[in-house]
Amino acid sequence: MKQTAPLQHNYHHGDLYQSLLLTATEMIAEGGTESLSMRKLADRVGVSRTAPYHHFKDKNTLLCAIAEQGFERVETLLQEVRTSASPEPLATTFTQYVHTYIALAYQHREQYDLMFGREIWRNGTPTNSLLERSRQHFKSWLSWIEQLCQQNVIQTGDSVLRTAQVYWATLHGLCRLLNDGIYTEQSQLEEMANTAVNMMLKHQTTA
Amino acid sequence: MKQTAPLQHNYHHGDLYQSLLLTATEMIAEGGTESLSMRKLADRVGVSRTAPYHHFKDKNTLLCAIAEQGFERVETLLQEVRTSASPEPLATTFTQYVHTYIALAYQHREQYDLMFGREIWRNGTPTNSLLERSRQHFKSWLSWIEQLCQQNVIQTGDSVLRTAQVYWATLHGLCRLLNDGIYTEQSQLEEMANTAVNMMLKHQTTA
DNA sequence: CAATCAATCTTGACAGTGTCAAAATATCGC
DNA sequence: GCGATATTTTGACACTGTCAAGATTGATTG
């Protein structure tokens, strides 16, 4: 509420909340979720072990906040792609999105793992805020697939919902396969993305 | 080497190796990888904390052994399906395999997560034995996809390798989506599997 | 300005983890 | 039975998340 408060050190540390979020994201990017301990984080930020607990109830809550930012990023990407009045045909736009999505997941692999990993969704408890944002993102995706179906870019005999689920699963599966380094490497990324797009767009085509 | 040794307690404990493997698998099935600690495992088997370390160098090694058994299971499934001289058309066989695979992944969800999760593939170090077996399984999958391509059950303009990778990614993505409880529930499993199969089999069909 | 109150941060503590080193024990080949 | 070897145990260490109690700081009110 106070906007005129002097920046920096308006309290003990300043904006510790943001500082924690930022540093934690860095640490995760460097060495994954496991390399992030609340104690090391506090150390790196320069506060005592338990200081973070006044800004994040849990380690889980902190992780949820980071995951949430990841969802914001992909949501932004999706919206940008959808609203960009590109002269390209919609199929091309879709293809580009797939490539960008996979590239993004690879670029922020650790955060991506966090977004969909068991750390939050199985062990931990997703924050309401995170739940909402992730659901909203899937709705955006669903809505786009619906549009693509209506405009005959995607032709499927199955329901839009199922199609959206399976298509996203394909995308997600590719990302995991890549991120986990199983059966493949990043160099094959482009080709695999193209193959995936072919599979999706030519799904039940009659010509 | 000794086959005639009296069963049970031929040493301190008996066949501790197998006992550990079995109990650990149980514990994982019950509460996931995180609920398995070396100490609790030792407790449950009835030995001291560090006894397991004479049979498994690491917790990592133990986990790899469990994951390996998972790969053995799916490999067995794949071989059975392929060699069963079914009167059904190959497309039907493929569809059945997809359903069974997903069902299996769901039934042994924690073990499945272990097989492909970051616990082993990122944090830990996959055992040579595990590496080999997982690679061999992908080869089997690749070989099947190749066969299906040759017999025109799958029609794709892309390379067999890329097709196999993307198809497996789709399958895997579905399993994760399901296992992690993101965007979907098990009740939608059948339909989603069908949608996925449709997408794969009608990939670039001309009729 | 002084006093109160709440927000923030620190120190101490606890139970839990993986795993190494050294000591104890049991089994087997001779 | 003896010595070697495989197996198990006890003790210890550094690390984790997080709770409770106390100390410090900032904002608020009189």
Task: Read off the pLDDT of residues B3-50 as tens digits, 9 standing for 90 and up.
Answer: 333 333 445 667 899 999 999 999 999 999 999 999 999 999 999 999
**Residues B93-115: tens digit of each pLDDT:** 999 999 999 999 999 999 999 99
Q: Are B151 and B82 in contact (CB under 8 A)?
A: no
Question: Which residues of chain A (13-72) touch nucleic strand D at CB < 7 A?
Answer: 36-40, 49-50, 53, 58-60
CB contact under 8 A, A202 and B203: yes
**Which of B112, B136, B203, B206 should be substituted to probe chain A, the one whose Cβ sees the most A Cβ atoms within 10 Å?**
B203
Q: Nearest Cβ partner of A169 from B163, B170, B206?
A: B170
Nucleic strand C near CB of residue A21 (< 7 Å): no
The pLDDT of A52-56, averaged and rounded, is 96
For residue B115, the SS3 value is helix
pLDDT for residue A12: 65
Placement of tokens 């998972």 in the chain: B70
Q: Are A64 and A116 in contact (CB under 8 A)?
A: no
pLDDT for residue A186: 82
Whether the per-residue pLDDT at A13 is higher than 50: the answer is yes
pLDDT for residue B1: 32
What is the band of A7 on the pLDDT scale with cuts at 50, 70, 90?
Answer: very low
Domain segments of chain B as ranges: 1-56, 60-201
- Residue A94's closest CA among A116, A71, A77? A77
Residue B165 contacts A, CB cutoff 8 Å: yes
Residue A156 contacts B, CB cutoff 8 Å: yes
Give me the CATH topology for the region B60-201. Answer: Tetracycline Repressor; domain 2 (1.10.357)
Q: What is the sign, positive or negative, of the torsion defined by CA atoms of A50, A55, A58, A64?
A: negative
What is the band of A180 on the pLDDT scale with cuts at 50, 70, 90?
Answer: confident
**A7: closest CA of chain B, how far (Å):** 40
- Please give the mean pLDDT across all residues of chain B: 89
- Residue B94's closest CA among B153, B173, B175? B153
The pLDDT of B143-158, averaged and rounded, is 94
> Which positions of strand C lie within 7 Å of protein CB atoms?
7-13, 16-22, 26-29
CB contact under 8 A, B138 and A165: no
From residue B172, how far is each of A178, B23, B33, B136 by CA, in Å?
12, 27, 19, 17
CATH of domain A63-201: 1.10.357.10
Q: Of all residues in chain B, what percent carry a pLDDT higher than 90?
A: 78
B47 token code pair: 């030995």
CB contact under 8 A, B170 and A166: yes
Whether the per-residue pLDDT at B75 is higher than 80: the answer is yes
Q: Nearest Cβ partner of A173 from B156, B173, B207?
A: B173
pLDDT for residue B7: 35
Task: Say if domain A1-56 classifies as CATH 1.10.10.60.
Answer: yes
**Residues A185-199: tens digit of each pLDDT:** 788 889 999 999 999
**A17: closest CA of chain B, how far (Å):** 28
Q: Of all residues in chain B, what percent carry a pLDDT higher than 70?
A: 91
- Please give the mean pLDDT across all residues of chain A: 90
**Residues A126-167: tens digit of each pLDDT:** 999 999 999 999 999 999 999 999 999 999 999 999 999 999
Mean pLDDT check: name the lowest of A195-204, B32-41, B124-133. A195-204
**Residues A78-112: tens digit of each pLDDT:** 999 999 877 888 999 999 999 999 999 999 999 99
CB contact under 8 A, B207 and A206: yes
What is the band of A207 on the pLDDT scale with cuts at 50, 70, 90?
Answer: very low
How big is the CA angle at B175 (ends B198 and A59), to the nearest 5 degrees? Answer: 145
Secondary structure of A37-99 in HEC code, one letter for each residue: CHHHHHHHHCCCCCHHHHCCCCHHHHHHHHHHHHHHHHHHHHHHHHHCCCCCCHHHHHHHHHH
Q: Gap from B27 CA to D16 C1', in Å?
A: 22
Residue B194 contacts A, CB cutoff 8 Å: yes
Nucleic strand C near CB of residue B194 (< 7 Å): no
Of all protein residues, which has its CA closest to the C1' atom of D10?
B48
Nucleic strand C near CB of residue A9 (< 7 Å): no
